[in-house]
Structure 1
Amino acid sequence: MSRTDQYPRHLRRIDPAQNMRRFYLLALQPTLFGGASVVRTWGRIGTSGQTMMETFDQPAAADNAFDLLERRKRRRGYQDADCSSGD
């Protein structure tokens, strides 16, 4: 099943002790040639941040990259934006 129909993942990491308020947004977008792109935006909450797009020929490869990036961020302490505390 392709993830292109699902919502993007909006993650946050807030740690007042370290003055850390970061966001990370992951999204999948289909390409015109049948592939998919993983679009990620990150930065300090309140800024527009930086954006990077990585394009894959196969949507399954994009799904795998999406899952890998999401797992890495969650291991580093990022949580869903709706569930994070400190706002």
Structure 2
Amino acid sequence: MRGVTAPVRDVPWVTVVLNDPVNLMSYVEFVFREYFGYTREKARRLMLEVHERGRSRVSTGTREQMEADVQAMHGYGLWAECRPADDRGDA
């Protein structure tokens, strides 16, 4: 049905990690491997995206899951935010 939007609860959310002036690239890569369980290659690719583009979508899921991921990133000292996946503000 054209023009009908999905209920908010059905819209996937994303966690976006932002570049910051403090954390080393190696540390950001470590956090992605440690918390998300990503491979070295995936963690490095996402870290480079954060470094070069200023941000990277690092996880997708429900709003509650993404809020938990953001809190975890803050716990590691990284800058992060969650937003609906269809929000292209990070593109």
- TM-score strictly above 0.5: no
Question: What range is the shorter-chain TM-score in?
Answer: 0.3 to 0.5
Tell me the TM-score normalized by structure 2. 0.35
Q: Which has the higher helix share?
A: 2
